[in-house]
Structure 1
Amino acid sequence: MALALYAAVASAAQTLPPDRSQLERKLTSTRTLIETSSGARQIEASGDAAAVADRARARELHARAGDALRSEELESASKLLDEASRAMFAAVRKAAAEQVSGRKERADFEARMLSTRALLEAQRRVAAEKNSGQSARDVSSRVEKLLAEAGEQARSGMMGAARRTLDQAYMAVKISAIGLRDGDTVVRSLNFTSKAEEYEYEIDRNETHRMLVDMLLKEKRGTASVGAMVDQALAAAATLRSQAEAEAARRDHDTAVKTLEQSTRELVKAIRGAGVYIPG
């Protein structure tokens, strides 16, 4: 009996029309949420397209709710205000996620910038020790230009482009520093427990140089002569890489290591042939 009475009361409450004065207050508070709240400022600061779109939808729904209220369509006004609030809350959540992501992206960029500058200092120190001459200075100069470009891109809010430019600088100076320290026989200064482990190292080294071709020669390959030369070297490197993988599959890792070294030399030749010096 009590349950039936409660259900009847609840049903009656659900069928009560919205109160106009309450809706007017809700219209005002929802407008504040959309236009001047801390959430609204967060959306503006984030610049996130999805968050901005949700806020625009919230504004549209709020305007429609105002029209409905003025037309005494109270049920419709109430529903539209609820929808406007939900759209705005969704916008705030997206803006918050974007800001967290943006802060992490910026922190990662700054950390990589510090690492690259430290590596550049090491490269210069080793170059001075070995009297390496103009070639190493050319790498240093190119890396400095890339770092300046990356910094400018970051200040302009182009974090994706800034990180790509910074990665180019990092890879170029890393290869240079390793080559200056260990010469053309990097692998012989390392201690491998087996030829299979040495093979895995050479695979990684080969892939690094292949990535350098993409990063350092992207613009230079537009020239017909350079493009043809690079394509030829890449084809030779790929053939040798496939040969090395087949040798490794037969567990002939000793031969596979030597074949991979030849493949990597083809990639180094392509980069140098395009006018970008790297050791190797």
Structure 2
Amino acid sequence: MKTKLNYAMGFIMLAAGVLNASFSHDVNSITATFETEASSRIETFTFPSNGKMEKGKIYLPAAYDTNKDLPAIFLIDYTEQHFKIAMDEFEKVIDGVRQIEGFDAVVVSLESIPDVDAEPDTYQEHYELFKDMAAYVGETYTAHTSRTFIGKGSESGIVLVALFLEDEEPSVFDNFIATDPSGPYARALINLIENQTHSKSRSNKKLHFSFSTSNNRALCTKLINTIDNAQYPWLQFESVKYTDSNYENTYPVSFAAGIKFVFDK
């Protein structure tokens, strides 16, 4: 439940201008907001999932003040188990949005980075958490029908599996951006597609997939070819092989490229 804390501290007249700060309080949830006129901001919120309250955060661009019907991008970000940990993924997704002139979106993630080993056999619990987050954001912040699921490393495996296994009615996500999936997830995806253990008929989706020199080139290439060979009529698919960039340097670029692709920019 989102709330704002409002308090008035008055006006302190300075040569540089006027400082205003405000807060409001609700016992069930706290959202702290610090803002200036026509500025972007990050709010925190709580939402129910699996019988308990989880904490999330959301980036709201300056345009949100006058247009709340904005697409939402959901970043799944856990402590990486297979590659070097990155602590700035949320900021890099925001940077990717800002790089597109005339485009705005809200960016959503968990407030903290959980220490989770996101393996294929735990996919469902991670997906359900973000499904519940998307429902809350849709009710509270933006009801725009475009939702993008984005992640890197092991978390990108969750993104990829969601593309193929999430229920069609109602479908939560429309666009999927995945970079450098772990080996266990890449193999699980190949098996899933080759064995056709998923619905072949889905509404239109977009997938941007990429991998770096830090990953298993042969395995990632096989996954790309497997998706291509399936020739899904409902899937618009773009893949990128970063042959001169490692894991640490690829995700800021691939996040931005994926956002441009799924939003036709």
Identify the TM-score tier after normalising by the shorter chain.
under 0.3
Larger relative contact order, structure 1 or 2 (CA cutoff 8 Å, min sep 6): 2
Structure in which a larger fraction of residues adopt helix: 1
Q: TM-score, normalised by structure 1?
A: 0.23
Larger radius of gyration: 1
Q: Which of the pair is proportionally richer in strand?
A: 2
